Structure 1
């Protein structure tokens, strides 16, 4: 079994600079390359650059999943408003760009320019389970729904209001009710949910993943997260 996690960038980063990349830099790939040379001491792999709570908790869940499936069994892609959809090992410079400050038309247009929708569908191919941890503005950039292939389960952790946008994928509600249920604020919630799911899989093993793959409702996932609350 292969899993893909698509999560979002965060404002908090492991390195910072007064000359971090800005929106205008990303309009010119050659300029980005030059700026990355200037900022070489600040570069980090994307998986290590982001230090916001959603990312930190999501990566804790990924490490648990990898204990069951191996490092190659779980891939992580991060949706960056500057770099586009990138693999976790892609070195990046600190930057100050977010889809949250763009309206929907601009977010979609900029995401198209970055190749985000095509990359998401290309990355999802060949994965049995795809977990998407994105807020509404980043969903605009992704342009759901994602096609669900035979035997594949795509799972969005997202607000209930996004249900109509995910198509045949499974939506696991991530809102205020779930904040209380799983002990996290809204910003960290989706990462917390993947952390709990990873914890459950590490305890119960491969059969739980098979149950998730077979269930097109959120019930199996919710039950697993509930069992993981309070465990280590």
Structure 2
């Protein structure tokens, strides 16, 4: 396992510090049409919204826990956003509302558009490019099966560029059984008490255990996942 920098990658949260207003993902059945309308709505939002970063936009228990752990352990924090693509916490954003869970088309097709034509300037436009730029570092991803399947091709491409496959750890539930499963640690309801969390924050709480001191986190992980 690499002892270099750690990247904590979590999914976006429904709770935000500022209301989305009219910047809601369009109710379209065609992914290309939806993305075109969405880009227009984001452009309008940028003209009327005060500037803010991803780190300032998201809120809620599991976001706060992840942000505190990243700061405490010196990890870089990233967000998989259904509406804005891959975000570093320092990237500029506008308040918005979008979730893969309510989209009727291919989520991976939308993610492809978000990474190929990102809505705004990004520290890194895709997971593949991030991992290619940091091949000797560690990546800990906490995502639900829905979000994980959306970014699966991007994450797989990134894993191939790492010095060792074990530098990628994915925390998710047993609803995911795709090609990333060799990198997956599965969560279950029995872990909630030990991590002092609910189901919503379970994946993030487990991921937090893996972003600290490598020896300490390995011991904790062994106790949790035995």
Q: Tell me the TM-score normalised to structure 1 length.
A: 0.74
For the 8 Å contact 1:56–1:191, the answer to whether it is kept is no
Q: CA RMSD in A?
A: 2.7
Rounded to whole Å, the distance in 1 between the matches of 2:21 and 2:187 is 35
Local SS of the residue matching 2:176:
helix
Q: Does 1:89 align with 2:93?
A: no
Give the corresponding residue for 1:3.
6
The DSSP-based 3-state class of the residue aligned with 1:162 is coil
Whose helix fraction is larger, Structure 1's or Structure 2's? 1
Match of 1:65 in 2: 73
1:230 corresponds to: none
Q: Give the aligned partner of residue 70 of structure 1.
A: none
Aligned-pair CA distance for 1:96? 1.2
Quick one: which of 179, 187, 196 aligns to 2:192? 179
Which of 124-133 and 25-34 deviates more?
25-34
Q: For 1:225 and 1:33, how far apart are their aligned partners in 2?
A: 44
Contact 2:55–2:90, Cα closer than 8 Å, also in 1 = yes
Which residues of structure 1 form unaligned runs of 5+? 67-73, 213-218, 227-232
Correspondence 1:114-193 to 2 at 5 A? 114-115=114-115, 119-125=126-132, 126-127=134-135, 128-144=137-153, 146=156, 147-148=159-160, 149-151=162-164, 153-169=167-183, 171-193=184-206
For 2:170, what is the secondary structure of its paired residue? Answer: strand
Secondary structure in structure 2 of the residue aligned to 1:143: helix
Quote the Cα distance in structure 2 between the aligned partners of 1:58 and 1:87.
13
CA drift of 1:55 comes to 1.5
Give the aligned partner of residue 229 of structure 1: none
User: Which residue in the other structure is 1:222 paired with?
Assistant: 221
Distance 2:77 2:45 in 1: 25
Q: Is the 8 A contact 1:53 1:188 kept in 2?
A: yes
Structure 2 unaligned segments of length 5 or more: list them. Answer: 27-33, 117-124
Q: Which secondary structure does the structure 2 equivalent of 1:82 belong to? A: coil
- Runs of at least 4 residues of structure 1 off by over 4 A? none
